[in-house]
Homo-oligomer: A and B are copies of this chain.
């Protein structure tokens, strides 16, 4: 959902990125290097950055991880929480979902609730009730039900993605190609050049104005929605 973050921030939204591990079990890069890359990327994006210190490959849905993430929710008080999709009905080869990603989605689902339980004294901070929970890293076996046109933000997204230098060697150096093509295929569905897919599990509130402003037809996304919030 990187390019959407760019779009949100450039459109005036305030964004905080929470990272659970430093990816130290990956093939490329050390923990220190990757933390440094994250900091550069967040600065370029213009978001806040919260790095938790869970260990790579060891993210599991426990009381403690739920609590820790509930505290992050209580700290930033977001209207919308985004998380990687919580189960892996088939696979994510293309999108690279790691067991830590799906575990994170599962934990966030509970953490968002825990954040609002005022009786839950184990979690620091004031109770906070986020308005929406939306998933990214939608499994390829399931159609996103929200598509965000990010065509106008791909260049900037790529510049930010390149901050993660140590990861640029992945897939024979073609990791960005894969990510770009992924966004092209979702863009194809909207008739725009690039889009990112999301999945929301609750019914969306019907917003007539929003439907009147947009189009589900190929070629039908007006300029106003394409590039600005």
Contacts and interface: CB of A to CB of B under 8 A. Distances in A.
Interface of A: 4, 7-8, 11, 13, 24-28, 56-58, 60-63, 66, 79-80, 88-91, 93-94, 98-99, 109-110, 113-114, 117-122, 129-134, 140-149, 171-172, 178, 181-182, 184-185, 188-191, 196-198, 200-221, 225, 229
B143 A216 contact: no
A26 B25 CA distance: 38
A79 B91 CA distance: 18
A146 B27 contact: no
A133 to B, nearest CB: 7
Among A28, A133, A203, max chain B CB count under 10 A is at: A203
Nearest to A213: B207
Contacts of A28: 119
A28 to B, nearest CB: 8
Q: Give this chain's copy count.
A: 6
B216 A8 contact: no
A150 to B, nearest CB: 9
B132 A218 contact: no
A121 B30 CA distance: 13
A93 B120 CA distance: 19
Contacts of A60: 61-63
